[in-house]
Amino acid sequence: MRQVLLRVPDEIHRRLAARAARSGQSVNAIATQILDAVVDADEGDRRSRLQARATALGVIRTGRVAPVDPVRRRRIIASTSGTGPVLDHILVAERERV
């Protein structure tokens, strides 16, 4: 395994650390997942690239998800309000690539 020394602005580090804390992972694990998803965004068919880009942006997650009760499901759906413009931007960028 290789090591990479990466300098990032304080704000990005703060956001990475917060995301890592929420998921119970290390900053290194989160950064590796994000980098992996971004690299995957340039490979595969169109659907795979879109999914990889959405994963890199944190719009979707990969892996198994535990079932949720209806109340929590409604809260989760409500929390995605406003992600439409982000997804629209991804789709427009992908269309321009093709």
Which two three-digit tokens encode residue 59?
Answer: 């719009």
**pLDDT at residue 62 in the model:** 62
Neighbouring residues of 43: CB distance < 8 A, sequence distance ≥ 6: 49, 52
State how far the Cα of 16 lies from the Cα of 26, in Å rounded to an integer: 9
In sequence order, which residues have a C-beta less than 8 Å from that of residue 31 and are 6 or more positions away? Answer: 6, 16
Tell me the average pLDDT across 35-56.
74
pTM of the predicted model, to two decimals? Answer: 0.47
CB 46 within 8 A of CB 98: yes
- Work out the average pLDDT over 6-25: 90
Of 27, 28, 9, nearest to 18 by C-alpha is: 27
pLDDT of 57 reads 75
